Amino acid sequence: MHIEVRGDGPPLVMIHGWAMHCGLFGALLDRLSTRRTLYLVDLPGHGRSRDDASLLDLESCVAAIAAATPPAPWLGWSLGGLFALHAAETRPEHVTALAMLCSTPRFVRATDWPQGMDVEVFRNFETGLQTDVHATVERFLALETLGCAHAKDSLRALRAQAFAHGDPAPSALADGLHLLENTDLRDLLPGLRVRSLWIGARRDRLVDPRAVAAAAALAPGSRHVQLDSGHAPFLTHADALAGAIAAFLDLGSVGPTQRCDAAFSPSPSGRGVGVRGNDAVFDPSP
């Protein structure tokens, strides 16, 4: 499994979503790497782990990531959140904090989880993988940007990066869909032993922001932030996203539940993190 190390400062592990790779975090990495050493995980079958035929399984992948990284906060985007949450539950001594970006412990709708996605969405992707992998991923990219204020520009940016290392491995895509369709980690949340940040997106058409808020409500001592973005907020709201993440990691200063339109200014000293009203802001003063 390929793990790129970038930046300087305390460690942060980052895990991408379905069919993606960590290169897609782009501008977010530029902002966070000024104050954090980033461990950027490309899951088996994805990105620079394209030729890694390991099973895309929560426990085996988490074990491999933990063995290759120091104790650190883990951030998971979308599917990546399932790995981060599993790690926080099974290895609280290694996962020092948890950040869930447009991610929930359960993705599929249920009677007691009405905010989830219709299972047919996943089954349609499963069918698509059997006929045309590239077209199926393209269709998924379009869904990721649906609802964005600048959807065409966001889709263009995603396309420019998504296939930089070729199409994801079909077997890994199928494994990922299986996880999204069948995993339910909600029971872990009340006993979660690390502090957590849950970031939803108001315009997200894949992960309902109400599901993110509902998950945050189940975790003791959690923080919840909502951005005015789509499913990939690092494309359109990198400053706000970096601000929310850094405030949580540095001081845990993001309020219990809030909308965040943060402005981010890199602070080499690591100081000057604070909250003003409902906006996490960064004072670059030394």
Q: State how far the Cα of 224 lies from the Cα of 240, in Å rounded to an integer.
A: 14
What are 259's two structure tokens? 């909308």
Q: State how far the Cα of 34 lies from the Cα of 266, in Å rounded to an integer.
A: 7
The answer to whether 19 and 140 are in contact (CB under 8 A) is: yes
Largest separation between any pair of C-alpha atoms in the chain: 56
Q: State how far the Cα of 47 lies from the Cα of 19, in Å rounded to an integer.
A: 9
The catalytic site residues sit at 78, 204, 231
CB atoms near residue 100 (< 10 Å): 30
